[in-house]
Amino acid sequence: MKKKTKKRITKIIIGVVAICLAVAFFALQIWSGVSRPVVFVIKPGENVSTVSARLSKQHLIISDSLFKLAVKFNGGKIQSGEYDIPRGTSAWRIASMFSHGRIATVKIVIPEGLTILQIKHQLKEDKNLSGDVDCDKSSAWGVVCDLADGDVFPDTYRVARGTNRLAVLDLAHKKMNAVKTKWMLARKNPPAPLRNWDEVLILASIVQKETPKTSEMRIVASVYLNRLRRGMRLQADPTVVYALTDGYGDMRGTPLLRDDLKIDSPYNTYRNNGLPP
């Protein structure tokens, strides 16, 4: 009789535990205290207990213990960063986000045809990024502190929200170096009279500023190449604009006048033969 009673009690206990676990799992997977979208920041060095306490204080999770359990099932660690927690997100999903580092990201688009000054201006205006666009040459950023036109690759970059602006420039600079290396390894011969990568890049940038239409670029490039072969001046308006704006490359609505073509500058291809610096 006693053995049957013990077995019965054991079964009841196991059943109760199973029900509790099921309820806990249900609570982790389904229940959410996130009534509106929340931006949650985990600072470097913060542990699970600290983060769990903050989540609980903001009523984003139902239980510290259950959240810690969810983190444990997702690898046991959390990663620092800024997270977007959508409305209705469960504790399990939050734990999964933190454990796998699914931080908030933003898309940074660097269009073709921008000068380095225009790119820096664009990055400075982007509120999703942090830090400055310039730095001291003695800083840890090294070459990024002294970027020139043609040093960064125009592309779409996805980075963590709050990324340092210099880090974005560094990313684009490395991409340009990779493209240049690939071009060099391909041993492509530039069209005469161009001799190297730099000259190809200079002419390409002038063509890009001359026309935004891809269908017209080949024609414009051919015109300029023929002028270079014949020793003629390029007479390219974009080079005058570059000179007039001190390298910014955009007149910002001001028309280019005939007298502007006389500006004394090494970049003015109306006054100087060959490619500009």
In a domain, 207, yes or no: yes
In a domain, 192, yes or no: no
At 10-56, the pLDDT tens digits run 666 665 555 555 555 555 555 677 889 999 999 999 999 999 999 99
In a domain, 274, yes or no: no
* 131 and 94 inside one domain: no
Last residue of a domain, one of 37, 72, 100: 100
Q: Tokens 């970059």, residue?
A: 157
Last residue of a domain, one of 48, 65, 100: 100
Instruction: State yes or no: cis peptide before 193, omega within 30 of 0.
Output: yes
Provide the pLDDT confidence category of residue 105 given band limits of 50, 70 and 90. Answer: very high
* 138 and 201 inside one domain: no
Question: Which domain does 227 fall in, by range?
Answer: 197-262
CA nearest neighbour of 150 among 110, 201, 184: 201
Write the CATH number for 59.
Answer: 3.30.1490.480
In a domain, 161, yes or no: yes
Last residue of a domain, one of 100, 125, 156: 100
CB within 8 A of 81, min separation 6: which ones?
Answer: 41, 42, 101, 103, 104, 160
Q: Is the dihedral of CA 224, 228, 229, 230 positive or negative?
A: positive
At 188-242, the pLDDT tens digits run 889 999 999 999 999 999 999 999 899 999 999 999 999 999 999 999 999 999 9
- Distance between CA 273 and CA 33 in Å, rounded? 70
CA 274, 253, 251 angle in degrees (round to 5)? 30
pTM of structure? 0.81
Collapsed DSSP state (helix, strand, coil) of residue 189: coil
- How many structural domains comprise the chain? 3
> Across the strands, what pairs with 82?
41
* 18 and 91 inside one domain: yes
Cα 270 to chain center, whole Å? 38
In a domain, 273, yes or no: no
In a domain, 7, yes or no: no
At 142-196, the pLDDT tens digits run 889 999 999 999 999 999 999 999 999 999 999 999 999 999 999 888 999 999 9
H helix intervals, the chain: 2-29, 48-57, 64-73, 91-100, 116-125, 165-185, 197-210, 214-229, 237-244
* 111 and 69 inside one domain: no
* 206 and 250 inside one domain: yes
- Distance between CA 228 and CA 209 in Å, rounded? 18
